[in-house]
Amino acid sequence: MSGIRPTGYLHLGNYFGAMRNYVRMQDEYPCFFMVADLHSLTTHPDTRALSESVRRVLAENIACGLDPEKVALYCQSHVPETTELYLYFNMLAYKGELEKTTTFKDKARLQPDNINVGLLTYPVLQAADILLHRAHLVPVGKDQEQHLEMSRNFAQRFNHRYGEVFPEPQAFNYGQELVKVPSLDGAGKMSKSENQNATLYLADDDETIRKKLMKAKTDAGPTEPNQPKPDYIDNLFSLMRLVSSSEVVAEFEEAYTGCTIRYGDMKKQLAEDMVRFISPIRERAAAIHQDDAYLKKVMQIGAEKARESASKTMVQVRAAMGLNYY
Ligand code: ADP
């Protein structure tokens, strides 16, 4: 189970941190993937663009290879059981632990005039999303590690107080460790709403991709063989490993080690490989996005599957809590 907020265009971080894993998981597990529209209200209270964003995120997920027939692909607000479970978990969550969450502190700093309680209880809603389907594996990027730990805490507390209902969900990735796709300026991660010039979006046109990559920070190059790479150079190599062939990566690694690397050439190669990676996704997403009838059907079928699973869990939850009076 996992979700992505409809707060902007999806980017390379969403793809490699989350969606690439979704696509592989759909053939191995029963899966629930959602567009987290309720979560987006914590930072984007203006709902005028929401409908458009929800449809775009759905289209982008499908364009990346997610098959709505294999998985439950749904919209969070279409599953009202989520908010019921969120309420119960709120009684198991403590103000102190929520205030200490890194993402809360970061977001509160970014929007000092709107430190709403939804922002504070974001990890509680996320725990409800996950545990509503009693999910074991949650494909997410590295930034979500702490939230998953909180989900496990809420599950444990519930089980301890009311009896065993929930598994302890784990952050999941097919590689060795969780992924963080860095931003092109070397300051933080690629993100939907911050740092837009240093983020590569799946909707960027070819020229924009080339321009953003050519502007990525570099320096005069290594001066001694086997010199450790500065962060921003390491980031370029990380991006290259994601989209270029292993031969190309090896060639530039060798040039780095031998101090013959030309970053202009490296960025040009990376830009071409990136264009080859992003452009088919962009084109597929644009076509799906135009098909309103299809997206409506996807949402309806997804909501049905998600509600079926959610209502089964909620029967168990209410029984465990003793909220069944007759
Ligand atoms: P954003 O931070 O861009 O608003 P979300 O909060 O909607 O994205 O996160 C959706 C998914 O994408 C989560 O699983 C998150 O861990 C992952 N993700 C977001 N940014 C990155 C990144 N730069 N690198 C790796 N994974 C990321």
For residue 15, give the nearest of 274, 267, 302 by alpha carbon: 274
Average of pLDDT values for 13-22? Answer: 92
CB 153 within 8 A of CB 129: no
Band of residue 295 on the pLDDT scale cut at 50, 70, 90: very high
The answer, yes or no, to whether residue 314 has pLDDT greater than 90, is yes
Backbone angles phi, psi at 180, to 5 degrees: -130, 115
Q: Is the pLDDT of residue 165 over 80?
A: yes
| Residue given tokens 């309103």 in the structure block | 292
Which residue, by CA, sits nearest to atom 19 of ligand 1? 14
CA–CA dist 71, 139 (Å, integer): 14
4 lines ligand 1 (CB under 6 A): yes
* pLDDT band per the 50, 70, 90 thresholds, residue 191: confident
CA 84/CA 17 separation, integer angstroms: 29
Q: What mean pLDDT is predicted for residues 285-314?
A: 98
Res. 166: pLDDT tops 90: yes
Quote the percentage of the chain above a pLDDT of 90.
88
Fold topology of 2-179+292-321: Rossmann fold (3.40.50)
Q: Can you tell me the mean pLDDT for 292-297? A: 98
pTM for the model = 0.92
Does the CB atom of residue 191 touch ligand 1 within 6 A?
Answer: yes
3-state helix, strand, coil in the chain (%, to 5): 60, 5, 35
Give pLDDT tens digits for 45-100. 999 999 999 999 999 999 999 999 999 999 999 999 999 999 999 999 999 999 99
In ligand 1, which atom is closest to the CA atom of 191? 3
Residue length of the chain: 326
Q: Which one of 1.10.3720.10, 1.20.120.550, 1.10.240.10, 3.40.720.10 gives the CATH number of domain 204-285?
A: 1.10.240.10
Structure tokens at 146: 């702490």
Q: Which long-range contacts (CB under 8 A, 24 or more apart) does 106-114 make?
A: 107/42, 107/43, 110/194, 111/43, 114/45
Domain with CATH 3.40.50.620 in the chain: 2-179+292-321
**What SS3 class is residue 280?**
helix
| 200's tokens | 């590569």
Mutate to test the pocket of ligand 1, among 2, 14, 20, 60 (most ligand atoms within 8 A of CB): 14
Residue nearest to atom 4 of ligand 1 (CA): 192
> Of 59, 154, 149, 69, nearest to 103 (Cα)?
149
- Mean pLDDT for 110-115 is 95
- Say if ligand 1 is within 6 A of residue 141 CB: yes
For the chain, what is the mean pLDDT?
95
Per the listing, tokens 């000092």 go with 112
- List the one residue out of 77, 78, 89 whose CA is nearest residue 165: 89
Residues of the chain with CATH 1.10.240.10: 204-285
In this model, does residue 138 exceed pLDDT 90? yes
Q: What is the pLDDT of residue 193?
A: 75
In short, whether 124's Cβ falls inside 6 Å of ligand 1 is no
Quick check: CB of 14 below 6 Å from ligand 1? Answer: yes
The rounded distance, in Å, linking the Cα atoms of 285 and 59 is 5
**pLDDT band at 188; cut points 50, 70, 90:** confident
The answer, yes or no, to whether residue 130 has pLDDT greater than 90, is yes
Distance 142 CA to ligand 1 centre (A): 8
CA distance 102 to 292: 38
- On the 0-12 / 13-18 / 19+ scale of CB atoms within 10 A, 158 is buried
